[in-house]
């Protein structure tokens, strides 16, 4: 994320829908890049996924939910460990 993007996000009210959407949209967009080029960040993204509050109303009613779940499984599959261990 570039500094301008980070500054913009930091300026948005953390309780707003826009802040929520951008944070999860960025995560969904980063997942394939992490698998291909930044494998050292896989654990970081898995922890972000597992700390997500899926009871929040935005989570279930937006299209990002499906993509976020699929990205989580993509990260697990590409951890470099056998799926039995994962």
* Alpha carbons 5 and 9: distance in angstroms, whole number: 6
Work out the mean pLDDT of the chain and round it to a whole number.
83
pLDDT of residue 1: 53
Tokens in use for 2? 């570039």
Query: What tokens does 64 get?
Result: 């990002």
**Residue 24 belongs to what H/E stretch?**
helix 17-37
More confident residue, 77 or 59: 77
The residue-averaged pLDDT of 17-44 equals: 89
Decide if 45 contacts 27 (C-beta within 8 A): yes
pLDDT score, position 61: 64
pLDDT digits (tens, 9 = 90+) for 49-72: 888 887 877 766 667 888 888 999
């Amino acid at each position: 994320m570039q500094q301008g993007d980070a500054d913009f996000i930091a300026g948005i009210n953390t309780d707003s829908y826009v802040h929520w959407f951008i944070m999860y949209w960025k995560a969904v967009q980063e997942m394939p890049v992490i698998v291909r080029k930044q494998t050292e960040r896989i654990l970081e993204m898995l922890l972000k996924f597992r700390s997500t509050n899926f009871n929040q109303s935005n989570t279930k009613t937006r299209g990002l939910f499906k993509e976020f779940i699929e990205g989580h499984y993509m990260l697990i599959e590409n951890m470099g460990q056998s799926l039995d261990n994962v």
